[in-house]
Structure 1
Amino acid sequence: MEITTTELGLAARVQGLTKTYGEGSTAVRALDGVSVGIRRGEFTAIMGPSGSGKSTLMHIMAGLDAATSGRAWIGDTEITGLSDLELTVLRRRRVGFVFQAFNLVPTLDALGNILLPFDLDGRRPSAIERARIDGLIDTLGLGARLGHRPHELSGGQQQRVAIARALATGPDLVFADEPTGNLDSRSGREVLALLATAARSAGQSIAMVTHDPVAASHADRVLHLADGRIVADKPRQTAEEISAFMLAAELGGVGVAADADAGVRS
């Protein structure tokens, strides 16, 4: 009998995941036998240099892309062989997304953008969901901005709307792709703190792809990828520790990076 993702304490997981682009001599292996889980109620940062496979891993875990081989689950639902329609419904109901470019609908006001997942699902929020949305609006300081359209909001405010939209349905898992990339440092810190709070107080599972050591330092766990493989899985680290590991990995490989990491910690 196979142990379920829930029994493992995970919100999502992949097993033996491989992703190859192209064929023959021009083939590029973006992921090479990756097995990893995203723990429930934890804020996980996924890091790595350009081309390491971090975005590909997130896209497959979120059901936005298909693996070449291997298996993937969201909760206890295996998504590996689902149809496009089944994946769309699953994502809409159980996964939230926060993007670097905010991805708000310009013709909708802030409240309309927050309620968009429910509109796409053809329903209105339940009383419990409405209470959650009201709490998010209050926590995110959006009460006075609900009637404003995206172009009337600052970058930080737009990202707050995007976070409220991502959390509105109470999804099992929220994927954040470079969520602070278009923000100033103060707004970025606020957004990261909000994501961390969502993981710790609301039990949401947050998986954030980032190249920024400062952003990753807000996470409970840091996964490092290189050449399509997970080369390190570390608990919370400072930005300095993360930077030292990344620099050493670039200069001399994983073994040197581990030594540098030990040196920073000692």
Structure 2
Amino acid sequence: MQITTSDLGLAARVQHLTKTYGSGEGEVRALDDVSVGVRRGQFTAIMGPSGSGKSTLMHIMAGLDSPSSGNVWIGDTDITGMGDTDLTLLRRRRIGFIFQSFNLVPTLDVAGNIQLPLDLDGRKPTAEETARIAMLVDTLGLRSRLTHRPHQLSGGQQQRVAIARALATAPDLVFADEPTGNLDSRTGREVLSLLAAASREHGQSIAMVTHDPIAASYADRVIFLGDGRIVADKPRQTPEQITTYMLAAEVNA
């Protein structure tokens, strides 16, 4: 009998994942036989020093990059080797993305950017989605900014629009790549609290790549990578515990 990702309570998983760049003498192994899952309704932080493979892992899990070997599942769909068209549809319908650089469409206003996943899918929001978007707009303090374009917003406001867009369709899985990297500490804390609430109150699965111990302390689980391998997998940690672990790992490296 085939054990599925759902049976394991996972929103996504990778198995024996390896990613290499280059060949021969110049080959770089960014990921080395990694097997890990993102649990449903859980906020997971992925940490590690620069070059540890954390962004590569997230990009492959999200179907933005392909592995050299191994398998990737989103829910019970094996996306390894899936064609571009199918992958694009799957990402649009089941995954939300929050990037450090916001990636908003400059010609659209805030309302248009938030509704973009629906527009790309060629459909109008359902009543439930309309209510969710209204709740996000109010929670994120964007009500007075709906007709503004991205260039008229602060960095924090732009990141909030990106979060509203990522959560608008209640995707199974949200990937956040250094989501607080361009924000001041107060706005960063607000963003992290929102992500934590999305998983805790709405059952969304969130995987966040970060190098910031304070950001990672908001997560239910912290996965540490080193040299392309998972070196630790810990339940919720304080910023101090995370910092201590990372310093010890650097000393032992």
| Cα shift readout 1:136-189 (whole Å, capped 9, x = no counterpart) | 112112111111111111111111110000011110000000000000000000
Q: 1:130: which partner in 2?
A: 130
SS, match of residue 208 in structure 1: strand
Q: 2:201: which partner in 1?
A: 201
Q: 2:27: which partner in 1?
A: 27
SS, match of residue 72 in structure 1: strand
Q: 1:228: which partner in 2?
A: 228
> Does residue 79 of structure 1 match 2:85?
no
State how many pairs are aligned.
Answer: 253
Q: Output the CA distance in 2 between the equivalents of 1:207 and 1:47.
A: 11
Q: Output the CA distance in 2 between the equivalents of 1:140 and 1:52.
A: 33
Q: 2:210: which partner in 1?
A: 210
Q: 2:161: which partner in 1?
A: 161
What is the TM-score of this pair, normalised by structure 2? 0.99
Instruction: Write the letter of the residue equivalent to 1:131.
Output: A
Q: 2:109: which partner in 1?
A: 109
What is the TM-score of this pair, normalised by structure 1? 0.94
Q: Output the CA distance in 2 between the equivalents of 1:108 and 1:6.
A: 37
SS, match of residue 5 in structure 1: coil
User: 1:32-111 residue pairs with structure 2 within 5 A?
Assistant: 32-111=32-111
SS, match of residue 203 in structure 2: coil
Instruction: Write the letter of the residue equivalent to 1:38.
Output: V
Q: Output the CA distance in 1 between the equivalents of 2:142 and 2:26.
A: 49
Q: Output the CA distance in 2 between the equivalents of 1:109 and 1:191.
A: 21
| Cα shift readout 1:45-94 (whole Å, capped 9, x = no counterpart) | 00000110000000000000000000000011110020011100000000
Q: Output the CA distance in 2 between the equivalents of 1:3 and 1:13.
A: 12
Cα offset for 1:242?
A: 0.2
Instruction: Write the letter of the residue equivalent to 1:240.
Output: E
Q: Output the CA distance in 2 between the equivalents of 1:216 and 1:226.
A: 16
Instruction: Write the letter of the residue equivalent to 1:212.
Output: D
Name whichever of 135-144 and 197-206 sits farther off: 135-144
Aligned CA-pair RMSD: 0.7
Name whichever of 118-127 and 181-190 sits farther off: 118-127
SS, match of residue 233 in structure 2: strand
Instruction: Write the letter of the residue equivalent to 1:149.
Output: R
SS, match of residue 166 in structure 1: helix
> Does residue 18 of structure 1 match 2:21?
no
Cα offset for 1:204?
A: 0.5
Q: Output the CA distance in 2 between the equivalents of 1:190 and 1:128.
A: 24
Name whichever of 48-57 and 151-160 sits farther off: 151-160
SS, match of residue 211 in structure 1: coil
Unaligned runs of 5+ in 2: none
User: 1:145-160 residue pairs with structure 2 within 5 A?
Assistant: 145-160=145-160
Cα offset for 1:4?
A: 0.8
